[in-house]
Amino acid sequence: MTNEYVLILDFGGQYNQLIARRVRECNVYCEVKAYNKVSIDEIKSLAPKGIIFTGGPQSVYGDDAPSVPGEIFELGIPVLGICYGSQLMAHVLGGKVETCTVSEYGKTETSYDKSCALFADSEIPYHAVSWMSHTDFISKVPEGFRIAAHTANCPCAAMYNEEKNLYAVQFHPEVNHTQFGVKMLASFLNDVCGCTGDWTMENYAEKAIKDIREKVGDGKVLLALSGGVDSSVLAALLSKAVGRQLTCIFVDHGFMRKNEGDEVEAAFKDWDINFVRVNAKEQFMGKLRGVSDPETKRKTIGEEFIRVFEAEARKIGHVDFLAQGTIYPDVIESGAGDAAVIKSHHNVGGLPDYVDFKEIIEPLRMLFKDETRKLGQELGLSETLVWRQPFPGPGLAIRIIGEITDEKLEILQDADWIFREEIAKAGLDRSINQYFAVLTNNRSVGVMGDFRTYDYTLALRAVETTDFMTAEFSRIPYDVLEAASRRIVNEVKNINRVCYDITTKPPATIEWE
């Protein structure tokens, strides 16, 4: 079965992935492609049901401003332009774009013309809030277009040409702050493009299992299982597809959270796969003795990981396929080019050079995180595994500031366990995207009973984010923080002070190292 397909042309907008996620939430399969990496001929052969132009940071009159050939509007394929995408549509089709006297940013009261298909849904009112972020605006619509929305400062907040199925909105329907934004996108997809919404994880699982079987035949598959959501879902999918032709190697470097290594093992014990756990803590600790620099820690762990994995893989002999849990956000190449590398991320996937295999398979390559989770549920993985919060490859090693010792590792595991328990007790474990404890290298004076103490300061970190590129600190109620702090200083030895990290990313990062 081939799914209905919508093409998202990316002009470097900060919300490109969000648009794609919203489209998928409407059960329509879509892909994001950089505007300059796909030709008109390719678009014709992809035959999308619709095309969406994202926003972008430029002005249509800027030097090297991203553009599209006018032909794209003549293919008979419906187009929706968003923000920069709307201005581009106006510009290319002979309208006029100018710089606003007052640029609009944030929640903006907007009036809609209900005769436009985007706003016709009975739930969408005549006036509602939209999310604006622009300094240019469409001052004259191209011939054949009508204005379909306006705000106090923006005379054309939306325009359309019904006959040609061309639609454009200056605001961002994909952002939650736009009331009824998803309804508007759904109207474009269903009413304008004629999509029926045939993209579900049930369909996907069935098709992926069939594709994997066809590709793998009777070959052997190897997977580095970290216990994270992506590699766990992949293990489940591969197990359903090829059963014992799959070997999962779980390298326990010793920097997992408390009890986590055993939990991962327990989760996969009864699956129809070959499961190998390597307890390599001593080996990793040996390599990290005396190391306190964060980048050296990451590099050392990454290299050692490869070595341990490689040694284990060698015992299996030749494998045909190396499976990797790459997911769609890692794949999307933005129209704005690559972002700067802030930290050298160690992902358990980066191994191919060292293992004897024929080909890489990445069955989750086109899925977003929420889809990966849904697939996991579909395949029967436990809630705990499916909803596990992200955990960095180097584990607690980058949450212990300075040199790592057995004692510090134990302190952090115990404290982190308590914090997670209190967050779950307060029912916050799904709304906070990542929460953990960090053992600082700082000691301070305290008093316990009649005695002076001189012990470690623990930092708690909790963030809310959609993409992990930017993040807000979570506004956890004080009583939850207080309960966690009280338990930690009482129950964990060598901690006499607890702080809560209230920095956003940027300028801070989520992890401390």
- The binding site for ligand XMP (CB under 6 A) comprises 298, 342-343, 345-347, 390, 392-394, 434, 468, 505, 509-511
Regarding beta strands 5-10 and 29-34, do their DSSP bridges make them parallel or antiparallel, or are they unpaired?
A: parallel
Give the Å distances, CA to CA, from 420 to 66, 122, 388, 415, 465: 46, 43, 11, 9, 18
86-95 burial code (b ≥16 CB/10 A, e <16): bbbbbbbbeb
Catalytic residue among 4, 104, 174, 312: 174
- Please say which residue, 219 or 390, places its beta carbon nearer to ligand XMP: 390
**Residue 8 or residue 510: which is nearer to ligand XMP going by CB?**
510
Cβ atoms within 10 A of the Cβ of 477, count? 10
Dist CA 92 CA 145 (whole Å): 13
- CB of residue 470 to ligand XMP, shortest distance in Å: 9
The residue among 220 and 346 lying less far from ligand XMP, judged by its C-beta, is 346
Task: Output the smallest distance, CB 311 to ligand XMP, in A.
Answer: 22
CA nearest 369: which of 421, 331, 316? 331
Nearer residue to ligand XMP within complex by CB, 188 or 391: 391
Cα 6 to Cα 217: distance, rounded to the nearest angstrom? 31
The three-state secondary structure class of 86 is helix
> Looking at beta carbons only, is 142 or 392 nearer to ligand XMP?
392
Tell the smallest beta-carbon distance from residue 345 to ligand XMP (Å). 4
**Phi, psi values for residue 61, rounded to 5°:** -95, 0
| 362 is an active site residue | no
Alpha-helical runs (H) found in 454-506: 478-491
DSSP H or E run through 39: none
Whose Cβ is closer to ligand XMP: residue 240's or residue 298's?
298
Read off φ and ψ for residue 249, nearest 5 degrees: -105, 120
Q: Active site includes 83?
A: yes
Shortest CB 394 distance to ligand XMP, Å:
5
Beta bridge pairs of residue 107? 131
26, 30, 83, 156: which one is catalytic?
A: 83
The number of angstroms, rounded, from the C-alpha of 32 to the middle of its chain's C-alpha atoms is: 14
**Whether the Cβ atoms of residue 485 and residue 491 lie closer than 8 Å to each other:** no
Q: Minimum CB separation from ligand XMP for residue 391, in Å?
A: 7
Distance CA 460, CA 436 (A): 6
User: Least distance (Å) from ligand XMP to the CB of residue 421?
Assistant: 20
Cis peptide before 506, with omega less than 30 degrees from 0? yes
**Residue closer to ligand XMP, measured from CB, 329 or 390:** 390
CA dist list (Å): 105 to 108, 171, 405: 8, 10, 49
Shortest approach of ligand XMP to residue 342 CB, angstroms? 6
- State the catalytic residue, choosing from 26, 91, 104, 172: 172
Of 237, 286, 249, 271, give the one whose Cα is nearest residue 405: 286
CB of 14 vs ligand XMP, minimal distance in Å: 16
- Under 8 Å between Cβ of 142 and 90: yes
**Residue 85 or 392: which CB sits closer to ligand XMP?**
392
String of DSSP letters for 294-323: HHHHHHHHHHHHHHHHHHHHHHH---SEEE
How many CA within 13 A on the CB side of residue 153? 18
303 is catalytic: no
β-strand pairing of 146-150 with 166-169: unpaired
| Interior/surface letters 1-17, b for 16+ CB within 10 angstroms, e for the rest | eebbbbbbbbbbbbbbb
Query: Given the complex with ligand XMP, which of 256 and 510 has the nearer CB atom?
Result: 510
CB of 298 to ligand XMP, least distance (A): 6
Give the residue numbers marked as catalytic. 83, 172, 174
